[in-house]
Structure 1
């Protein structure tokens, strides 16, 4: 097989893989819809059969109905149950057919799993041949390969930063949920001070601190990832719940009254600041997504230039 024949076969296999991927997705969606329809029809059949069973059950009312010539009611219910049974059977056939087609498409896709690697290898073989043969395209393809390598590296780093931003956003959202619980607990303690209420509030605050540790780790990772792509870490508000030094014994009084309520606004402030931080990180994620899309477009353009050189 010549280099060109190998590349043509690899290109055809890659195209078939892309088509098969779309077919698998389409069949999966249709199969899921058919499964939902089948489940709904089975529920309807159960209801219709329950109506029939109820009418067929020996009872005084059924005996009196038969004397009055009202047999038509049960015949109607039986007909509706039979119609539901036929609908279930037809839906089952549709579902089974789609499932078989989906499995066959998945099997075909599995056999085409090596298509991308084979296509890449065939392209590289042709590029080596062109470079060694002195064909002018060889130098252009080498430059294109270097360009694609740089763009791929940039895209990888941006995606790593975006992944760190996603995780930071996730853990900050978890912290905010824990702060909400701590806010409720501290509010209840203000309204009804007591040892049990204070214990519950302090446990909730401890949960916030615990979650903040994980969020802080991802924020540190995000800072490093952003530095790698020349982005600055945005400034975030302070999100710690700074409890007063006397929170352990709760013995501080003002005008003869314990100062429990000073904790509540501290927790509320931490919650507000965390919400602000989440919004800042969300804006950062959108910027990174836009940057990744722009770099991906550059890579696609370089891929088209490579394909044109091979034409």
Structure 2
């Protein structure tokens, strides 16, 4: 290589022939020319450039470039020069196409990132705003409720205060009334004590008389028999048939009970339990007869004559088979 660098000034200009149509234009009519100057050794680039501009040592080379009318490029003057120029043109063409595209893609990506960031920021801001708004509404609602509650309490306290003031004004009058009531109560209590003492004495006298009557009744009735209205009654604890009950009463000196009045029936039922039933001296033999062959009063009981022997219960009378075994009630006259 030469010790001096080679400087080249390339000036492109295009020659057009006026008055010709595009179909009549030849390769020589529409061509691009370049001026290449080879500087002399020992001269500066500025001086060489001035000589190029002055037209010294100029080499003209015809360079064909694609025009806008779609005309095919002319054949290169030299294969090596044509390949180099084609590569340079392709690189320049790709640079021209790729650089804006890359720049546009970068700008688009940056714009998408900005849009996504702003959208995310907006969404987060909206969520945060919604949460804060909900929290504020909740606090506002709680504050309103507390205010209503405090107002209610204040109203109740005011009412209580008014009542207390009224009660305080009336306390002296109530105190006087209470003293009068206390005095009256003490007097009533004293009178009640006196009445209680008198009632206790009467109770003692009644119990004494009742004990005397019981002693007298025991004297009028046999052991385990009960006295009522000049009669003695025995209420059995064992069970027998109607005929067996009749014979047991006869053995003890009596007979099966003959109920002659409402008072006598009430007394007998008072000595019975709710679920108990007892044989009495009423049976069916060509009609209902008591054991002493007397007939019962009309309407004294109701019967459909299903069975021939009569039981008395707490609530009613009922017929039953005579051989059934039940408890029984005996009756005898009391000793005068």
Q: TM-score range by the shorter chain?
A: under 0.3
Larger RCO (CA under 8 A, 6+ residues apart)? 1
Name the one with the larger helix percent: 1
Larger Rg: 2
Higher strand share: 2
* TM-score, structure 2 as length reference: 0.19
